[in-house]
A and B are shown apart, each in its own frame.
Chain A
Amino acid sequence: MDFDLTEEQRLLKESIDRFAADNARDPAQHGGAGDGAALWNGLAELGVLALPFAEEDGGIGGGPVETMIVMESIGRSLITAPYLSTVVLGGGFLRLGGSEAQRAEFIPQVADGSLKIGFAQLERQSRYDLYDVATTARREGGDFMLDGRKGVVLGGDDAGLLVVTARTAGGRRDHDGITLFLVDANAPGVSRHGMPAQDGTRVAEISLDGVRVPADRVLGEVDAGLPLAGRVVDVALSALCADSLGAMEELHRMTVDYLKQRQQFGVTIGSFQALQHRAADMLVAVEQARSMALYAAMMAEEPDARERRPAIAAAKAQVNRSSRLVGQEAVQLHGGIAMTWEYRAGHLFKRLTSNELLFGDTDHHLREVAEAGGLVEEI
């Protein structure tokens, strides 16, 4: 049992923290826009775009703890670059499901910053069920023809490559019959409509109308894409927990600083016990979230879904609950200033809220924990 960072992890943390602090997004300046090309190139130069890939694929060989370090920093700094969609999700699909040829083609482009990836999964009816897929892929000659509509495609706006879930067999809610495709985002039949999301990131609606995808762009096995999607989404959930942790730490720090500065009735408002106790409860929530973000990182690469799934679900449920409390309390304890667009706290609150709704809200994950039989049994 050991919670210390290795020397290499400490160095990574120092460099990404410094970079993120220098590039922290100021929402008042940027409005709804993303971070731009300079930041993405900076991340590439730091090496963090190559972070999770194996060395023989041109990566650095980092694991979920390294990803956690990066995501915590990104969340704290409100960076909106599509790291989650490109490196964690897209990279996760390539790492865990890509053929040798697919890895050789795409991983170097992700690592050097020239390729962004979007994950096209959500449909009108699917909500949090990865297996609920109406988009179809039918065989035509040696190729597949994709038809369907995807929404809230993370990083879909300026991605060069899309990972698309489509149904090759079975009914809409069958677990079998789902296939993952690597789709050129500029292929004929793909139309995109990009938009800003609540947290300042960019998402897209994507229409697939008879998009021809060659068979060598199938990721993993035909009809058996769901377990891979589940694995990669769990890796992403672990990363999201870290992103939220970073945002919560920052919100709590800002709130406590504000309590020490803001004067009313001739004293700093931090001298009021009613507010002290709420700030203390925020800290308890942050520490509970930190514990579960660590737990998620340690379980994220577990291949056995029966072990991994309840652990990741529990982590997301706890981080979500902590996020809700820390976000709402930060706004309340700040008062009116946190309601303004020009002040950072409100944007951190929005980041936390958006993260809560990605890949399963609290109810969804608690149900997953319950259906797995829970976490504690008699010995």
Chain B
Amino acid sequence: MDLRFTPEEIAFRDDLRRFFREKVPAEIRRKVAEGRHLDREDIITSHRILNAAGLATPNWPVAWGGKDWSPVQRYLYTEELQRAAVPLPLQFNVFMVGPVIAAFGSEEQKRKFLPATANLDIWWCQGFSEPGAGSDLASLRTSAEKRDGKYIVSGQKAWTTLGQHADWIFCLVRTDKEAKKQRGISFLLIDMKTPGITVRPVITIDGAHEVNEVFFDDVEVPMENLVGEENRGWDYAKFLLANERTGIARIGLSKQRLARAKRLARETEAGGRTLWEDGDFRRRVAELEVGLKALEITQMRVVANQRHRDADKPDPASSILKIKGSELQQATTELLLEVAGPYALPAPEHDRPEGWNEPAVSPEWADAAAPLYFNYRKVSIYGGSNEIQRNIIAKAFLGL
């Protein structure tokens, strides 16, 4: 039993650490560190820098540009990426549709989509949730009917993250209305430029345009855009959701936020001293750090255990990582909000009046704290809400 990394693993980590800091523009990393929204160009720039170095799709099969990394190497990669505040390579491409096409797609689909997906020449979005299908995803109703050698897709998808930038959408659609609900679902790739698709922004409580509604009104989709077999889409979706197993806790990100909160607290005056000198504040930080350390080791246990497990089966331990990881992510944004204190109140990107040259009373970073806190309430809701995760633990682990 040994918690330490090998010298080779440490060298691997240090190389990544250097690469992320030297090659990804500081301005983009600053936005991530401050929890600001990235624009489309930021995401593309960073993603392509990673892809050019073979670092965008390490989880893919080697034949399609993946890396034959050990679970420990994958863990170090994710940790370093997050600690360096590098934007994650676009998750929909890298962790979702890419692996599904690589595992279940036709040769033609692989050739057509995988290289372009790896380089973010195609921007994918995810068409799973619907207004009536959230936690109960299998109750989805968007239909694809076969007519004249095509699928005709009708319905509505919800919570489509960054759909406003997307070139293509991968959808779960109902192809058999008679079958039991999980059985009649297929996995379909749809070009967003197809007539009949409407994207409508949904503004979230932080004031940002991150998610959308996507409407399908008799949209014609070629049969060749079906992935795998018809009515097997639910299996592919489960594969997809199991794919990102250990990154879900986002421990590197929480560490980066905590470390930043500590630095800012040392620079922030409160009660005639720095906030860091306030014992109550430090105790709260210590509580979070203890929980985070425990989760980090829990994650390392899951990573180390992967070599004993069937790689394609989901590990129920990922539910623990999801619950605790999301709680800690939220707690770190809460902490940052409280470090900012009253200076968090002005909304970001407000226009200064012409000729107003006074330096701002609020520190420059403070206006991102509240939107980040509001935005992060999502992490315990998406990806299977924390209550769904508890159902999974009760059923899969405890046999209740």
* A residues lining the B interface (CB < 8 Å): 1-6, 9, 65, 256, 259-260, 270-271, 273, 275-277, 279-281, 283-284, 287-292, 294-295, 297-298, 314, 317-318, 366-367, 369-371, 374-379
How far in angstroms is the closest Cβ of chain B from A63? Answer: 9
Is there contact, CB below 8 Å, between A283 and B294?
no
Interface size, chain B (Cβ < 8 Å): 51
A291→B299 CA distance, assembly (Å): 9
How far in angstroms is the closest Cβ of chain B from A334? Answer: 15
B279, B320, B323, B397: the one contacting A370 at CB < 8 Å is B279
Is there contact, CB below 8 Å, between A260 and B399?
yes
Chain A residue with Cβ nearest B254? A376
- Docked complex: B356-400 residues within 8 A CB-CB of A: 387, 389-391, 393-394, 397-400
Is there contact, CB below 8 Å, between A298 and B2?
yes
Residues of A within 8 A of B279 (CB): 367, 370
Residues of B within 8 A of A284 (CB): 320, 323-324, 393
A275, A283, A288, A377: the one contacting B393 at CB < 8 Å is A283
Residues of B within 8 A of A314 (CB): 286, 289-290, 293
Known: A270-B400, A375-B289. A291 touches B294 (CB 8 A): yes
Interface residue B72 (Cβ < 8 Å from any Cβ of A): yes
Q: List 26 A-B contacts (CB under 8 A).
A: A4-B1, A4-B304, A9-B1, A256-B398, A260-B399, A271-B400, A276-B400, A277-B390, A277-B391, A280-B390, A280-B398, A284-B324, A287-B317, A288-B324, A290-B298, A314-B290, A318-B293, A369-B289, A370-B283, A370-B285, A374-B286, A375-B286, A375-B289, A376-B292, A378-B256, A379-B83
Residues of A within 8 A of B399 (CB): 256, 260
Is there contact, CB below 8 Å, between A2 and B304?
yes
Is there contact, CB below 8 Å, between B259 and A378?
yes
A279, A281, A317, A366: the one contacting B400 at CB < 8 Å is A279
Interface residue B31 (Cβ < 8 Å from any Cβ of A): no
Is there contact, CB below 8 Å, between B393 and A318?
no
A278→B277 CA distance, assembly (Å): 37
Produce 1/0 per residue, B284-306, CB < 8 A to A: 01110111111111101101110
A97→B304 CA distance, assembly (Å): 36
Residues of B within 8 A of A279 (CB): 394, 398, 400
Is there contact, CB below 8 Å, between B291 and A318?
yes
* B residues lining the A interface (CB < 8 Å): 1-5, 9, 17, 72, 83, 255-256, 258-260, 262-263, 279, 282-283, 285-287, 289-298, 300-301, 303-305, 317, 320, 323-324, 387, 389-391, 393-394, 397-400
Residues of B within 8 A of A259 (CB): 400
Residues of A within 8 A of B255 (CB): 376
Chain A residue with Cβ nearest B297? A291
Most buried by B among A273, A277, A294, A370: A370
How far in angstroms is the closest Cβ of chain B from A9? Answer: 8
Is there contact, CB below 8 Å, between B2 and A1?
yes
Q: A280-B397, A287-B320, A379-B83 are in contact. List 8 more A-B contacts (CB 8 A).
A: A1-B72, A256-B399, A279-B394, A288-B291, A291-B301, A295-B3, A314-B293, A317-B286
How far in angstroms is the closest Cβ of chain B from A244? Answer: 14
A280→B397 CA distance, assembly (Å): 9
Residues of B within 8 A of A9 (CB): 1
Is there contact, CB below 8 Å, between B295 and A291?
yes
B9, B283, B297, B394: the one contacting A277 at CB < 8 Å is B394
Q: Closest 4 interchain pairs by CB? A: A291-B297, A276-B394, A370-B282, A280-B393
Is there contact, CB below 8 Å, between A318 and B289?
no
Residues of A within 8 A of B303 (CB): 1
A369→B304 CA distance, assembly (Å): 27
A5→B83 CA distance, assembly (Å): 31
Residues of A within 8 A of B295 (CB): 288, 291
How far in angstroms is the closest Cβ of chain B from A297? Answer: 8
B1, B259, B324: the one contacting A5 at CB < 8 Å is B1
Known: A279-B398, A283-B398, A366-B283. A376 touches B294 (CB 8 A): no
Is there contact, CB below 8 Å, between A291 and B283?
no
A33→B135 CA distance, assembly (Å): 53
How far in angstroms is the closest Cβ of chain B from A51? Answer: 16
Is there contact, CB below 8 Å, between A3 and B391?
no
A295→B283 CA distance, assembly (Å): 21
Chain B residue with Cβ nearest A284? B320
Residues of B within 8 A of A291 (CB): 294-298, 301
B4, B262, B390, B397: the one contacting A374 at CB < 8 Å is B262
Known: A1-B300, A367-B283, A370-B286. A256 touches B400 (CB 8 A): yes
How far in angstroms is the closest Cβ of chain B from A155? Answer: 28
Residues of B within 8 A of A370 (CB): 279, 282-283, 285-286
Residues of B within 8 A of A287 (CB): 298, 317, 320
Chain B residue with Cβ nearest A314? B290
Known: A1-B300, A273-B391, A298-B1. A377 touches B259 (CB 8 A): yes
A289→B305 CA distance, assembly (Å): 18
A276→B387 CA distance, assembly (Å): 10
Known: A279-B400, A314-B293. A1 touches B283 (CB 8 A): no
Is there contact, CB below 8 Å, between A276 and B390?
yes
Residues of A within 8 A of B320 (CB): 283-284, 287
Residues of B within 8 A of A273 (CB): 391, 394
How far in angstroms is the closest Cβ of chain A from B388? Answer: 11
Is there contact, CB below 8 Å, between B294 and A378?
no
A88→B296 CA distance, assembly (Å): 28
Known: A270-B400, A298-B1. A3 touches B283 (CB 8 A): no
Known: A291-B295, A291-B297. A366 touches B290 (CB 8 A): yes
A189→B247 CA distance, assembly (Å): 62
How far in angstroms is the closest Cβ of chain A from B236? Answer: 27
Residues of A within 8 A of B324 (CB): 284, 288
A289→B283 CA distance, assembly (Å): 19
Chain A residue with Cβ nearest B263? A378
A271→B295 CA distance, assembly (Å): 29
How far in angstroms is the closest Cβ of chain B from A340? Answer: 24
Residues of B within 8 A of A366 (CB): 283, 286-287, 290
Is there contact, CB below 8 Å, between B390 and A369?
no
Residues of B within 8 A of A275 (CB): 400
How far in angstroms is the closest Cβ of chain B from A259? Answer: 6
Is there contact, CB below 8 Å, between B293 and A295?
yes
A3, A281, A374: the one contacting B289 at CB < 8 Å is A374
A367→B287 CA distance, assembly (Å): 9
Chain B residue with Cβ nearest A317? B290
Chain A residue with Cβ nearest B2? A2
A280→B83 CA distance, assembly (Å): 30
Most buried by A among B4, B300, B398: B398
A256→B263 CA distance, assembly (Å): 44
Residues of A within 8 A of B5 (CB): 1
